[in-house]
Amino acid sequence: MPSVRTAADLADLRTETLAAQKAKPVWITVCTGTGCCAYGAEGLADGFESEIDKRGLGRQVGLRRTGCHGFCERGPLVVIEPKGICYLHAQAKDIPTIMDKTVLGDEVVTRLLYLDEETGKRVRTAAEIPFYKHQKRILLENNVLIEATSILDYIGVGGYSALAKALNQMTPDAVIQEVKRANLRGRGGAGFSAGVKWETTRNASGAPKYAIVNGDEGDPGAYMDRSLLEGNPHSVLEGLIIGAYAMGATEGFIYVRQEYPLARKHAQMAIDRAREYGFLGANILGSGFDFDVTIHRGAGAFVSGESSALVNAIEGHVGEPRPKYTHLSEKGLWGKPTCLNNVETWANVPFIVNRGADWFRSMGTANSKGTKIFSLVGKVKNSGLVEVPMGITLRDIIFKIGGGLPAGKKFKGVQTGGPSGGVLPEALLDLPVDFDELDKVGSMMGSGGMIVMDEDTCMVDMARYYVNFLAHESCGKCVPCREGLRQMLTILDRIAGGQGREGDIELLEELSEFMEMASLCALGKSAPNPVRSSIRYFRHEYEAHIREKRCPAGACSALIQYEIDQTKCSHPPCGACARACAVEAIQKIDTGAYWVLQEKCIKCGSCYTACPDKFHAVRKAPVAWPAWQFPSTPVRTEITV
């Protein structure tokens, strides 16, 4: 068995691994992250593999199936190393060409390169693509360089050297002091100092002590933790082992969300390999330190990601928060001192140990150090996973990395912090990404969800979406959270439905304040954030719904109707709208034009989508559209059915 007993063994293994890799001059890297796999990346990798075999290139050309590179939207992604040529949307039919030109030859396949819309030029490497250029990829960097399930690949990029350093050269207390000095704050939500939490756990009496990875990632649309667990599980595991050593934990758990089978599989493989190599188990690297890890499969609800709920779930109980006023670091899992950190928090640890607190502190703002991974989604041209230094502005993330909004749409707001975060308006785009700054303006860092919204997004509808999510994802145990959310949902439904009343905004505000004060856990306390922030920055939208029965964004179906602008409709009409309508609500009137029968219309919007862009004749109009705004209004009685 390839057991690694000492730091010197590890260094030797690394040298051997690198030499073996160097023996092959060219490496084809295929991203097999979840995003790229949805575009057929597995088949593509298989295709490369058989092509390499077929051509008898097994000794010269290597193939790596890696985790997520971040730019999922343009997948499948293929990178040819060592030149770093980056191909987007690569297909099986491109394999022979890529092999001939780039792998064996010295040319590029131009059509597969990224096209920079601004310069009109194609760029060859990922580093030149604006999406990557403005990022600071530290945690995600190795995702591109290693095969997720290969411990040797991880060792090749320096993996487990931080563990060797911590165990051989540092006392547990020195590790804690380094992490404290780095000011590593929790990446899972609240931004609590990891070092302080470790120290409290270390100082708490009771044994055994437990260290847990929170991989529940319940924030809808976010997949930072998933990509780390799938693409580089050893980095999370190494961080966990170092942390366990520092706080004196002997048992660990990786809690992975039920919907992440691949993350679970890769984490399990990482644990098995690490045990084989001697990074887990008894007497790790000859240090006398014992530690082992088990995977726990999550139970599903958003609330189970809350720390005490997660601990309940691991104990085999219902994943509901504990109402107790005690800290997990003193009384956690089975009543023993327990430390829970987010996946990304743990993944930072090996870097801090290896490169030092000063290096970590060189990135970021006064109180937020290092980098943060965001899942940038919504109305942006380049969506995907982005890792940025703390302190970067929201504007840079959305416009430089994200490339701005598609189709010339105007920016309206950005939701950070997931369902418990807040929506921020254009005026706050120059805000630096920083735990405390985001808190101050009514949002939060959260785990890193970032949803960009354009002018077509209704803020009442947005708030309603999150309130509805939380109303169904909370445990429902305490009255303020359950009944508060129920009533918020009723009120928002009524506002969006054109039935809002004077005083509803104030009632929402009163409920928000009450839920923050009285709820049992952080879910209920933070649940009002989307409502509060949207009222704070977009109050006029609420007022338009309530007072004028108008949805300024044209999104609330009860307040809009679809109409055909007769001045824009083609002559003769193309009829695309009528064909798209499933309920025959669009009919020809005797002038030969098409007309929407409002009584029949179910407001599905199919006609709006079906109308060719060159006409753009179907429009969303407020239900009570003043007659004078029609250029030529056909009288309704003219309709013949």
Partner 1 sequence: MGQVTLEINGKSVQASQGITILQAAKSAGVEIPTLCDDGRLEPYGACRMCMVEIEKKGRTRLVASCLYPVEEGLSVQTESAKVTKIRKMLVELLWPAGQQYAKKYGVTRSRFATGMADCSLCGLCVRYCAEVKKSNALYFKGRGIDRKPALVDGPHATCSSCGECFSLCSGGWVVASRA
Kindly list the distances between the CA atom of residue 628 and the CA atoms of 477, 622, 632, in Å, as whole numbers in the listed order. Answer: 53, 13, 9
**Which backbone phi and psi does 409 adopt, to 5 degrees?**
-75, 155
In this chain, which stretch among 23-31, 59-67, 420-428, 484-492 interacts with partner 1, using CB under 8 A?
484-492
Q: Which is nearer to ligand FMN, 35 or 188 (CB)?
A: 188
633 alpha carbon, distance to own chain's centre: 47
CB–CB of 1/276 below 8 Å? yes
User: Which of partner 1, ligand FMN, none binds 556 (CB below 5-8 Å, type-dependent)?
Assistant: none
Q: Which is nearer to ligand FMN, 71 or 198 (CB)?
A: 198
CB atoms within 10 A of CB 291: 21
Question: Is 479 one of the binding residues for partner 1 (CB under 8 A)?
Answer: yes
Least distance CB 428 / partner 1 (angstroms): 30
Q: Is the peptide bond before 321 cis (omega within 30 degrees of 0)?
A: no
E-assigned strand segments in 326-395: 338-342, 371-378, 384-389
199 alpha carbon, distance to own chain's centre: 29
Q: Which is nearer to ligand FMN, 123 or 522 (CB)?
A: 522
Residues 246-285 that bind ligand FMN (CB under 6 A): none
Contacts of 452 (CB under 8 A, 6+ apart): 376, 377, 378, 379, 380, 398, 402, 405, 411, 414
CA distance 66 to 78: 10
Site string for partner 1, 119-158 (x = CB under 8 A): ----------------------------------------
CB–CB of 596/631 below 8 Å? no
Long-range contact set of residues 193-199: C-beta below 8 Å, sequence gap at least 24: 194/243, 194/341, 194/345, 194/349, 197/329, 197/339, 197/341, 198/243, 198/246, 198/247, 198/339, 199/247
Q: Any idea of the CA torsion for 605, 607, 609, 612, to the nearest 10 degrees?
A: -160
What order of strands is seen across the sheet that includes strand 292-297? 292-297, 251-256, 210-215, 338-342
Question: Is 199 one of the binding residues for ligand FMN (CB under 6 A)?
Answer: no
- Of the candidates 511, 551, 564, 596, which one interacts with partner 1 according to CB under 8 A? 511
Can you read off the two tokens belonging to residue 347?
């993944």
Q: Which is nearer to partner 1, 155 or 475 (CB)?
A: 475
Question: Is 372 one of the binding residues for ligand FMN (CB under 6 A)?
Answer: no
Least distance CB 528 / partner 1 (angstroms): 13
User: Which of ligand FMN, partner 1, none binds 625 (CB below 5-8 Å, type-dependent)?
Assistant: none
Question: Is 471 one of the binding residues for partner 1 (CB under 8 A)?
Answer: yes
Long-range contact set of residues 393-397: C-beta below 8 Å, sequence gap at least 24: 393/429, 393/430, 393/431, 393/432, 393/433, 394/424, 394/428, 394/429, 394/430, 394/431, 394/433, 395/429, 395/430, 396/134, 397/433, 397/450
- Of the candidates 520, 535, 569, 585, which one interacts with partner 1 according to CB under 8 A? 520
Closest to 150 in 3D by CA, of 70, 63, 80, 214:
63
User: Which of ligand FMN, partner 1, none binds 368 (CB below 5-8 Å, type-dependent)?
Assistant: none
- Of the candidates 444, 523, 531, 585, which one interacts with ligand FMN according to CB under 6 A? 523
Question: Is 457 one of the binding residues for ligand FMN (CB under 6 A)?
Answer: no
Q: In the block, which residue shows the tokens 């779930």?
A: 313
Question: Any idea what DSSP says for residue 410?
Answer: P
Question: Is 259 one of the binding residues for partner 1 (CB under 8 A)?
Answer: no
Least distance CB 490 / partner 1 (angstroms): 6
Q: Is the peptide bond before 208 cis (omega within 30 degrees of 0)?
A: yes
- Of the candidates 65, 101, 124, 187, which one interacts with ligand FMN according to CB under 6 A? 187
- Of the candidates 84, 123, 157, 192, which one interacts with ligand FMN according to CB under 6 A? 192
- Of the candidates 54, 410, 486, 636, which one interacts with partner 1 according to CB under 8 A? 486
Q: Which residues pair with 85 in a beta bridge?
A: 80, 125
Question: Is 188 one of the binding residues for ligand FMN (CB under 6 A)?
Answer: yes
E-assigned strand segments in 16-141: 26-31, 61-66, 78-81, 85-87, 114-116, 121-123
Q: Which is nearer to partner 1, 445 or 481 (CB)?
A: 481
Least distance CB 485 / partner 1 (angstroms): 6
User: Which of ligand FMN, partner 1, none binds 507 (CB below 5-8 Å, type-dependent)?
Assistant: partner 1
CA distance 123 to 114: 6
Shortest-Cβ-distance residue relative to ligand FMN? 186
Q: Which DSSP helix (H) or strand (E) runs through 354?
A: helix 343-355
- Of the candidates 183, 232, 307, 375, which one interacts with ligand FMN according to CB under 6 A? 307
In this chain, which stretch among 25-33, 188-196, 346-354, 475-483 interacts with partner 1, using CB under 8 A?
475-483
The vertex-60 CA angle with 98 and 151, nearest 5°, equals 100
Number of chain residues interacting with partner 1 (CB under 8 A): 32
Question: Is 303 one of the binding residues for ligand FMN (CB under 6 A)?
Answer: yes
Question: Is 323 one of the binding residues for partner 1 (CB under 8 A)?
Answer: yes
In this chain, which stretch among 201-209, 317-325, 565-573, 618-626 interacts with partner 1, using CB under 8 A?
317-325
- Of the candidates 57, 115, 190, 621, which one interacts with ligand FMN according to CB under 6 A? 190
- Of the candidates 161, 183, 232, 447, which one interacts with ligand FMN according to CB under 6 A? 447
- Of the candidates 98, 204, 340, 388, which one interacts with ligand FMN according to CB under 6 A? 340
- Of the candidates 104, 123, 157, 518, which one interacts with partner 1 according to CB under 8 A? 518
- Where on the chain is the footprint of ligand FMN (CB under 6 A)? 186-190, 192, 194, 214, 216-218, 302-303, 305-307, 340-342, 345, 447, 521-523
- Where on the chain is the footprint of partner 1 (CB under 8 A)? 301, 303, 323-325, 470-480, 482-487, 489-490, 507, 510-511, 514, 517-520
